[in-house]
Amino acid sequence: MATRLLIAEDEPSILESLVFILGREGYSIATARDGREALECLKTHGAPGLLILDVMLPAVSGFEVLKAVRTEPELEAVPVLMLTAKGQARDRQMAEQMGANAFIAKPFSNQDVVQAVRRLAAP
Amino acid sequence: MTPAIEFALVAALAYAALLFALAWWVDRRSRQDGGLPWLRTALVYTLSISIYCTSWTFYGAVGSAARGGLEFATIYLGPTLMFVGWWLLLRKLVRIGRLHHITSIADLISSRFGKSEALGALVTVIAVAAATPYIALQLKAVTTSYQVITGASLESVDFRAGFWVAVGMAAFTILFGTRSLDVNERHHGVVAAIALEALVKLCALVAVGVFVVFALFDGPGDLFAHAPPGFLHAEEVFGPRWITLIFLSAAAVICLPRQFQVVVVENENERHLATASWLFPAYLFLMSVFTLPIAIAGLTLMPAGADPDMFVLTLPLVAEKEALALLAFLGGFSSATSMIIVASIALSTMVSNHIVAPLALRLSRNRTRTSGDVRRLLLTTRRIAIATLILLGFLYFRVSAQSGALAAIGLIAFVGVAQVLPSLIGGLFWPQANARGAVWGLTAGFVIWMYALGLPSLEDGGPLGADILAEGPFGLAVLRPQALFGLDGLDPLVHATFWSLTINTVLFVIGSLTREPRPLEWVQARQFVDVFRGGAAIGPDSGRPRFHRTATSEELYILAQRILGAAPAHELFDTFARRQGLAQGLPLPTQELVEDLERRLAGSVGAASARAMMAQVAGGEEVSIDELVSIADETARIMRYSQALERKSTELETTARQLREANEQLREIDRQKDDFLGQVSHEIRTPMTAIRSFSEILRSSDDLESAQARRFVAIIHDESLRLTRLLDVILDMRVVEKGEIPINLEPLDPDAVLDHALQTCEGLRGTAPVTVTQGARAGTARVAADPDRLRQVFINLLSNAVRHTDKDAILIRVESRIEAGAYEAVISDNGPGVPEADRERVFSLFSATWTRAGEKGAGLGLAISRGIMRRMGGDLMLDVGAPREEGARFRVTLALTADDPPP
pLDDT, tens only, B84-101: 877 788 888 888 888 888
**Residue of chain A whose Cα is closest to the Cα of B855:** A58
Tell me what pLDDT residue B93 has.
87
Instruction: Measure in Å the smallest separation between the Cα of A88 and chain B Cα atoms.
Output: 8
Q: Is the pLDDT of residue B743 over 70?
A: yes
Q: Write out chain B residues lying below 8 Å of A20, CB-based.
A: 697
Domain assignments of chain A as residue spans, ordered by start: 4-118
Beta-carbon separation of B854 and A21 below 8 A:
no
CB–CB of B559/B127 below 8 Å?
A: no
Q: Write out chain A residues lying below 8 Å of B682, CB-based.
A: 56, 85-86
Q: Is the pLDDT of residue B157 over 70?
A: no
Neighbours of B652 (CB within 10 A): 10
Helix (H) or strand (E) holding B456: helix B455-457
Tell me what pLDDT residue B167 has.
85
Q: What is the mean pLDDT of residues B237-244?
A: 80
Beta-carbon separation of B697 and A34 below 8 A:
no
Q: Is B676 on the interface with A (CB under 8 A)?
A: no
Instruction: Measure in Å the smallest separation between the Cα of A79 and chain B Cα atoms.
Output: 23
Smallest Cα–Cα separation from B176: which of B391, B30, B358? B30
Q: Is the pLDDT of residue B475 over 70?
A: no
Instruction: Measure in Å the smallest separation between the Cα of A30 and chain B Cα atoms.
Output: 19
Architecture of domain B743-895: 2-Layer Sandwich (3.30)
**Residue of chain A whose Cα is closest to the Cα of B688:** A107
Cα first-last separation, chain B: 131
pLDDT, tens only, B334-351: 888 888 888 888 888 888
Q: Is A23 on the interface with B (CB under 8 A)?
A: no
- % chain B with pLDDT above 90: 4
Beta-carbon separation of B690 and A11 below 8 A:
yes
Probe site for chain B from A52, A64, A106 (most B CB atoms < 10 A)? A106
Calculate the alpha carbon distances from B1 to B6, B150, B303, B431, B664 in Å.
Answer: 7, 8, 20, 64, 98
Query: What is the C-alpha separation between B672 and B651, in angstroms, rounded?
Result: 31
Beta-carbon separation of A85 and B693 below 8 A:
no
pLDDT, tens only, B252-279: 888 888 888 888 888 888 888 888 888 8
The ipTM estimated for the assembled molecules is: 0.94
Q: Is the pLDDT of residue B548 over 50?
A: no
Q: Is A87 on the interface with B (CB under 8 A)?
A: yes
Q: What is the mean pLDDT of residues B21-37?
A: 77
Beta-carbon separation of B696 and A34 below 8 A:
no
Distance of CA B127 to the CA centre of its chain: 30
Tell me what pLDDT residue B860 has.
57
Q: Is A97 on the interface with B (CB under 8 A)?
A: no
Tell me what pLDDT residue A27 has.
93
Q: Is the pLDDT of residue B619 over 50?
A: yes
Q: Which residues touch B440 (CB under 8 Å, ≥6 apart)?
A: B507, B508, B510, B511
Q: Is the pLDDT of residue B376 over 50?
A: yes
Tell me what pLDDT residue B837 has.
66
pLDDT, tens only, B189-222: 888 888 888 899 899 889 988 888 888 888 888 8
Please state the pTM of the whole predicted model: 0.57
Calculate the alpha carbon distances from B660 to B521, B656, B663 in Å.
Answer: 52, 6, 5
Q: Please indicate whether the domains covering B3-29+40-416 and B743-895 agree at the CATH topology level.
A: no
**Residue of chain A whose Cα is closest to the Cα of B690:** A14
Q: Is the pLDDT of residue B736 over 60?
A: yes
Q: What is the mean pLDDT of residues B855-876?
A: 73
Tell me what pLDDT residue B534 has.
44
Read off the pLDDT band of B369 (50, 70, 90).
very low
Mean pLDDT of chain B: 78
Residue in B687, B696, B719 closest to A110 by CB: B696
Tell me what pLDDT residue A16 has.
93
Q: What is the mean pLDDT of residues B870-884?
A: 77
Domain assignments of chain B as residue spans, ordered by start: 3-29+40-416, 419-540, 547-619, 627-737, 743-895
Beta-carbon separation of B697 and A59 below 8 A:
no
Q: Is A86 on the interface with B (CB under 8 A)?
A: yes
Q: Which residues touch B65 (CB under 8 Å, ≥6 apart)?
A: B71, B72, B291, B292, B294, B295, B308
- Note the CATH number of domain B3-29+40-416: 1.20.1730.10
Q: Write out chain B residues lying below 8 Å of A61, CB-based.
A: 853-854
Chain B (841-860) residues lying within 8 Å, Cβ to Cβ, of chain A: 852-855
Tell me what pLDDT residue B616 has.
66
Q: Which residues touch B719 (CB under 8 Å, ≥6 apart)?
A: A13, B687, B688, B690, B691
Ranges under pLDDT 70 in chain A: 1, 87-88
Domain A4-118 has CATH 3.40.50.2300: yes
Q: What is the mean pLDDT of residues B68-91?
A: 83
- Give the range among B297-301, B527-531, B769-773 with minimum mean pLDDT: B527-531
Beta-carbon separation of B693 and A110 below 8 A:
yes
- Topology classification of domain B627-737: Helix Hairpins (1.10.287)
B822-829/B889-895 β-pairing: antiparallel
In total, the C-beta contacts within 8 angstroms joining chain A to chain B are 70
**Residue of chain A whose Cα is closest to the Cα of B854:** A58
- Give the range among B158-162, B837-841, B865-869 with minimum mean pLDDT: B837-841
Q: Is B690 on the interface with A (CB under 8 A)?
A: yes
Distance of CA B591 to the CA centre of its chain: 30
Q: Write out chain A residues lying below 8 Å of B688, CB-based.
A: 106-107
